[in-house]
A and B are shown apart, each in its own frame.
Chain A
Amino acid sequence: MARLLTLMLNGRKRVDAVADNLLLLDYLRESLRLTGTKTGCDGGECGACTVLVDDRPRLSCLTLAASCEGRRVETVEGLAEGGRLAPVQQGFHEKLGAQCGYCTPGLIMASEGLLRRSGDPSETEIREALASNICRCTGYVKIIEAVQHAARLRAGGETR
């Protein structure tokens, strides 16, 4: 079975024909060639495929594209504006929150979800909000610093 799916993707309205059994992850990567969202464990255990749906993080590997009808879906490609990195990306860049980079898009989207609902999160809040995302390189310390830095950048304060 298939249907026409209407959604807001990275701020733009899209209408696409999708099969009922198409995963959001495959819709993004295979149909739209938005390969910033990564396929990691492919079973809901690693968080590499995290995207935002209506501002809240979701695992795109376990979400059906057709379930996103009428919703706002955002991927890492949608964060930068006018060629400038978004604060959360800038934070990861400046504080070395990425090493191999595979988990980074998922961690950035989970962090963006956190910062949208809590502008000045504590370290505990950051750790809890990122607990669905696994990184095998960094040991998480630089990631937490990156999110703290991003929170300051978002608030328009100091930049280093």
Chain B
Amino acid sequence: MEALPEFELLRPRTLAEAVDARAADPAARLLGGGTDLVVNIRRGIEAPGRLIDLTGVAELMTIKADAQALELGASVSLADLAANEAVRAHYPALAEAAASIAGPTHREMGTVGGNLCLDTRCIYYNQSDWWRAANHNCLKTTGQMCHVAPKSRGVCFATFSGDLAPALLVLGAEIELVGPAGARLLPLGELYIGHARHDGSGGDGKRYLSLRPGEIVTRVRVRAAPGLRSAYDKIRIRRSIEYPVAGVAAALKREGGVLADLRLAFTGTNPRPVLLAGTEKLCGGALDDRVFAGLDALVRDQVMAMKTTFTPGHYRRRVAGVLAKRLVTRLFAAG
């Protein structure tokens, strides 16, 4: 890899300092564990003039979790999140998702905020400078065309592959954003604006987060839903370090023999994490073939994975559906 380009590193100690630094230079990049951003900088994918390291901001490093609610700071490490007993007990999908990310050393470094804002990935994007140049640079950098989806007519199809987002989506999380204009709360799903087929925004898909200039993701909040069971699982080429081929978070309620609530969210497949729409129509009866056939149809319609180095897109879509079925079956049968 290349040597790092010149940049200035700021290390704020308080959130107020971080917000001021970000407001003064909205082009500055926020640095968590560096497991994604530093790699991208080393690959010449980006060359920010200023980095703001958020890992020294003590007020962003707290986990408050009990049976009623969860509040997570953006600089909490993925290792600390995965090991937290209250999170494991009351928000298992989130703990399982955190424990599944990359490898143990990456989890010591990576942060909640960094994983939620993870740059979208693509076989034509996460490559060295010379590789990308030799392949006519893709739309997400300086090129004119999305090579992974040549018929996309100027829309980027790079894939969102953070693992926390689907788990938090099925748990109904909100995020707190702080910027020059103050703080605001947002349903987590509204953070993600990468291309979706049903979305008529008409953008080029290169912007994948709805953050306003100068805003920082500071906290995640979840209010626990009584009786909601949740889990997370993913398929990878090997069980460590790799990004997901497909990841699935599931949450459901069972009342007697009846499936009373069902939520599924996918990562590693689309330009944004996908909270599957239409699952409410599958609820109200037993967990039978009708539910699984309906689930299959929803996955086919809404999950649209692209190829990676190792797998074609249609394989990723199929394993996403299989994982979803396995998780739902397991959660429905549990205790």
Minimum CB–CB distance from B115 to chain A (whole Å) comes to: 14
Q: A54-62, A76-84, A85-93, A97-105: which one contacts chain B?
A: A54-62
Query: Range of interface residues on chain A?
Result: 20 to 34
The verdict on A138 contacting chain B, using a C-beta distance below 8 Å, is no
Neighbouring A residues of B53 by C-beta, 8 Å: 64, 67
Q: How many of B's residues come within 8 Å of A, CB to CB?
A: 31
The CA of A129 and the CA of B31, in the complex, are separated in Å by 25
The verdict on A159 contacting chain B, using a C-beta distance below 8 Å, is no
Closest partner residue, chain B, to A64 (CB atom): B9
Cβ contact of B4, chosen from A23, A47, A130, A131, cutoff 8 A:
A23
The verdict on A122 contacting chain B, using a C-beta distance below 8 Å, is no
Q: A9-17, A38-46, A146-154: which one contacts chain B?
A: A38-46
The CA of A128 and the CA of B1, in the complex, are separated in Å by 28
Check if A131 sits within 8 Å of B104, measured CB to CB: yes
Residue of B4, B6, B43 contacting most chain A CB atoms (<10 Å): B4
Neighbouring A residues of B42 by C-beta, 8 Å: 42-43
- Contact string, B1-18, partner A, CB cutoff 8 A, digits 1/0? 100111111010000000
Neighbouring B residues of A50 by C-beta, 8 Å: 105
Closest partner residue, chain B, to A132 (CB atom): B103
The verdict on B239 contacting chain A, using a C-beta distance below 8 Å, is yes
A residues 119-158 near B (Cβ < 8 Å) are 128-134
Check if A132 sits within 8 Å of B35, measured CB to CB: no
Check if B109 sits within 8 Å of A62, measured CB to CB: yes
Cβ contact of B240, chosen from A21, A59, A66, A131, cutoff 8 A:
A131
Check if B105 sits within 8 Å of A47, measured CB to CB: yes
Neighbouring A residues of B109 by C-beta, 8 Å: 58-59, 62-63
The verdict on B34 contacting chain A, using a C-beta distance below 8 Å, is yes
B residues 21-42 near A (Cβ < 8 Å) are 31, 33-35, 38-39, 42
Minimum CB–CB distance from B48 to chain A (whole Å) comes to: 11
Neighbouring A residues of B106 by C-beta, 8 Å: 44, 59, 132
Residue of A56, A62, A131, A133 contacting most chain B CB atoms (<10 Å): A62
Decide yes or no: A132 and B11 within 8 Å by CB, A44-B39, A64-B53 being known contacts: no
Check if B240 sits within 8 Å of A132, measured CB to CB: yes
Neighbouring A residues of B4 by C-beta, 8 Å: 21-23
Cβ contact of A63, chosen from B34, B56, B104, B240, cutoff 8 A:
B34
Cβ contact of B104, chosen from A21, A22, A128, cutoff 8 A:
A128
The verdict on B108 contacting chain A, using a C-beta distance below 8 Å, is yes
20 contacts between A and B (CB under 8 A): A1-B6, A1-B9, A20-B8, A20-B9, A42-B1, A50-B105, A56-B79, A58-B109, A59-B35, A62-B33, A62-B38, A63-B38, A66-B9, A67-B9, A67-B53, A67-B56, A69-B11, A131-B239, A132-B102, A132-B104
Interface residues of A (CB under 8 A from B): 1, 20-23, 42-45, 47, 50, 56-59, 62-64, 66-67, 69, 110, 128-134
Interface residues of B (CB under 8 A from A): 1, 4-9, 11, 31, 33-35, 38-39, 42-43, 51, 53, 55-56, 79, 102-106, 108-109, 239-241
